[in-house]
Amino acid sequence: MAEYNKNMSPEEEDRMIEEAYQDVLNAYLASNHRKKVEIIERAFRFAKSAHKGVRRRSGEPYILHPIAVAKIVISELGLGSTSICAALLHDVVEDTEFTKEDIEASFGSKIASIVEGLTKISGGIFGDKASLQAENFRKLLLSMSTDIRVVLIKMADRLHNMRTLGSMRPEKQYKIAGETLYVYAPLAHRLGLYKIKDELEDLAFKYEHPQKYAEIIAKVSESEKHREEIVEEFVGPVRKKLDAAGFKYEIKARVKSAYSIYNKMETKKIPFEEIYDIYAVRVIFENDDDTLERIHCWEIYTFFTDGHKVHPERLRDWTSTPKANGYRALHLTAMGPDGKWIEVQIRSRKMDEIAELGYAAHWKYKTGVHEDDTELDKWMNTIKDILANPEPNAIDFLDTIKLNLFSAEIYVFTPKGDLITLPAGSTVLDLAFAIHTQLGTHCIAGKINHRLVPISYKLDSGDQVEIITSDSQTPQPEWMQFCNSAKAQNRLRAILRKDRRHLTERGKKLYDEFLEREGVENTPDVMTRLLGNLHLPHKEDLYLMLANDEINLSAKQLKDLNKTRSSLLSKILRNPFSSKKQEERKTPVNRKVIYVLHPDEDKPNYKLDTCCQPIPGDDVLGFVDENEDVVVHKVSCPNAMRLKSSFGSRLVATKWGGVADRFLATISIDGIDRRGILEEITGVISRDIGVNMVGLTINARQEVFHCEITLQVDNSETVENICRSLKEKIKGVKFAKRIS
């Protein structure tokens, strides 16, 4: 299809639209679906007419977006005519004068209900207000629990928006990329849409860290030829065995995504060259008999073990116990020709489709009730459970959902041998709540292999667990720290909330009586400052402590309120925009242009938050508070991630406009200990590079030392130079990396 350009004539534009639609139709005709071309044709004509004259921000005709979403729906998700029609029509109800009833009259109730589900969650999950954000996310999950196709088409919509993010302003790019990493990528992961998850993460990474993205892609490309040679040498003997055994198969070399590589480099603080699992090998075999699928996987496994050393602790059998999103495969890790470990994934063609497309593939294979759907049903029930008892705080609500989206799984057994899937890190208490709320409410201990363990005990895959209960046991607030699953947390909060309600009411009455006695007006400002002084997050906590006689309020505390105020962003994640009122308001920050940071001025034109300590050279972005101050975070800061997702309208794209010798950075150094090595390290830093040291700790044990030095630096490049110089100039220094 031709690329859009702004000089196209109306005739050329129309021809381009028709070609794009024909691509969708060709992909549909090439699939295994029943050929319902007539209804797809009508949906396209309807959408084209409805969006006539409307353009996207890039200038191209709007109809190209629904067509692109429909193309993803058929080509990358493998869905059928109902989903293609819904994708073509997904913006009609929201953006034009047509209603759900119009869609239903023309295309039937199923397509109309999917379009309505998509309309409810349009405009991004996140509004400008946290309450709106949570409400929209609830709508997404409710829609998903009635028809999974709603969220699959929403994924296709988000993927196309990410692919065309370049036409948006920088601060919008940060908002949409942050939103994608915070919710859409984990949701894709949980639905088994690994291919889409990887692309969403890579695109978000590309816009958040453009320079690092380009560096990693360049390094992956540079090593491609060498990688191909290594993989071919590695799989050569296996190919011969597969051919001799009569397998029809294909072998693919898969490269780790740029975002995964970056994450590993950041988490482990290692350079690109030290990541050993950049590539993996995938063997996909054709299989006509489902009963022989697992046997064939293990047969191919033996072909690898015959000629290669296999890592004993990295065998993963997902063939007999699928992941909660339906993923099935046999994984092993073997030693490659260059002395680096290579992961091998063995899958049948059906396993591969489910691995790539998750529940989109299940939809395709589904004929009535399918055994693979049971795990999805369990997960959906957890989602419905959370929706039935939603968190009042929007950020807490999202975190509860994310806990359930992100978690890897473990598999444990009941005394009767029933298999239960739980998030990794789950405790005895999590298991009790997973089986039944009453069991969780009265749980006092667990029994594993005839050994009693406390409710806080973390379970491992394969444990057979008996829950011990007592009628006298009642849930306690401290149990929250023993719950690592969303279901248990949600149930426990609901129970505690009921118990707390009457105590909270009593505490509120005591608070109101106290203020009346002291002659102080009961205003939100008084409450906010009192909570700040007492270091309490919510007014309910104050009411509970008053009701339980844990604190007493005095007239002195009220006087002290006028002397102290909470710092601007110290509680930003609880109350993102609380600050003291200023008589003089600053000039509003223009969020549509890139805000230039000037650390070299006497009074910098920004503020730094304490959570991530960015320095010039780091990828940063700004949040504009209610006093129009720009507060700077690293793009990858976890707090920034939550704020990007929740308060996108307060974002401003930033860049460094200078450097200044006023920033602190800490480097970690490891190596072989010897006499005089510390003197050499400090010499390189202070004498050779001329940087001031403000803190130093060193520990040496059995000839190995670990040292952390805090430096006063001007930018990140200086820190990188110091780390490089230490490794190159000082014998015995093995690692030197920035840790803050």
For 258-281, the pLDDT digits (tens) are 999 998 888 877 788 777 777 789
Three-state DSSP state, 629: coil
Going by C-alpha positions, the residue among 262, 172, 251 that lies closest to residue 215 is 262
pLDDT at 458 over 70: yes
**Cα within 13 Å of Cα(466), Cβ side:** 9
Structure tokens that stand for 541 in this block: 């906590």
Which segments of 454-519 does DSSP mark as H helices, in order? 486-518
For 110-143, the DSSP string reads HHHHHHHHHHHT-S-S--SSHHHHHHHHHHHHHH
Q: Is the pLDDT of residue 90 over 70?
A: yes
- 3-state DSSP assignment of residue 486: helix
The pair of three-digit structure tokens given for residue 572, joined into one six-digit string: 């930003």
Q: Could you tell me the sign of the dihedral formed by the alpha carbons of 400, 406, 412, 416, in that order?
A: positive
- Burial of residue 415 (number of CB atoms within 10 Å: 0-12, 13-18, 19+): exposed
Catalytic residue among 12, 14, 41, 94: 94
Q: What does the pLDDT average to over 319-332?
A: 84
Q: Which residue from 251, 253, 249 is spatially nearest to 228, judged by alpha carbons? A: 253
Residues 6+ apart with CB under 8 A from 616: 597, 599, 656, 658, 659, 660, 663, 714, 715, 716
The CATH classification of domain 217-357, taken from the options 3.40.605.10, 3.40.50.720, 3.40.50.10890, 3.30.460.10: 3.30.460.10
List the one residue out of 21, 48, 57 whose CA is nearest residue 37: 21
pLDDT, tens digit, for every residue of 466-524?
999 998 888 888 898 888 887 888 888 888 777 777 778 888 888 888 888 888 888 77
- What is residue 200's predicted lDDT score, i.e. its pLDDT? 94
Report pLDDT digits (tens) over 552-582. 777 666 666 654 443 333 443 344 444 444 4
Can you tell me the distance from the alpha carbon of 515 to that of 535, in angstroms, rounded to the nearest whole number? 19
Is 95 annotated as catalytic? yes
Q: Is 0.85 surpassed by the pTM of this model?
A: no
Extract long-range pairs of 519-522: CB within 8 Å, 24+ residues apart: 520/558
**CATH fold for domain 414-484:** Ubiquitin-like (UB roll) (3.10.20)
Q: How confident is the model at residue 694 (pLDDT cuts 50, 70, 90)?
A: confident
Identity of the highest mean pLDDT range in 118-122, 503-507, 629-633: 629-633
Catalytic-residue membership of 373: no
Beta bridge partners of 405: none
Are the beta carbons of 705 and 726 closer than 8 angstroms? no
Strand pairing category for 620-624 and 692-701: unpaired
* Of 290, 283, 260, the residue nearest 370 (C-alpha): 290
Task: Report the pLDDT value the prediction gives residue 416, as an integer from 0 to 100.
Answer: 83
Name the token pair of 226: 């060498």
Q: pLDDT digit string (tens) for 142-177?
A: 666 567 788 888 889 999 999 988 888 887 888 888
* Residue 237: per-residue pLDDT: 92
3-state DSSP assignment of residue 232: helix
663-738 falls under which CATH superfamily?
ACT domain (3.30.70.260)
CATH architecture of the domain 10-207 equals: Orthogonal Bundle (1.10)
pLDDT tens-digit profile of 202-243?
999 999 889 899 999 998 888 888 888 888 899 999 999 999
DSSP letter at 277 equals -
Which residue is it, tokens 């799989």? 235
CA 160 to CA 176: how far, in whole Å?
A: 12
Least confident of 376-390, 428-442, 571-585, 592-606: 571-585
Place of tokens 């401003």: 652
Q: Convert 665-713 into a string of H (helix), E (strand) and C (coil).
A: EEEEEEEECCCCHHHHHHHHHHHHCCCEEEEEEEEEECCEEEEEEEEEE
Do the strands 249-255 and 279-285 form a parallel or antiparallel pair, or are they unpaired?
Answer: antiparallel
Q: Whole-angstrom Cα distance, residue 716 to residue 599?
A: 14
Give per-residue pLDDT as tens, 341-368.
888 999 999 888 888 777 666 555 444 4
Tell me the HSE value of 740 on the side-chain side, using a 13 A CA sphere: 13
Set 13, 95, 385, 396: catalytic member: 95
Domain-by-domain residue ranges, the chain? Answer: 10-207, 217-357, 414-484, 495-561, 595-656, 663-738
State mean pLDDT over 416-427.
Answer: 83
For every residue of 630-663, which 3-state class applies, written as one string? Answer: EEEEECCCHHHHHHHHHCHHHEEEEEECCCCCCE
* Whether the predicted pLDDT of 250 surpasses 70: yes
Question: Helix or strand or coil: residue 438?
Answer: helix
Q: Is the pLDDT of residue 37 over 60?
A: yes
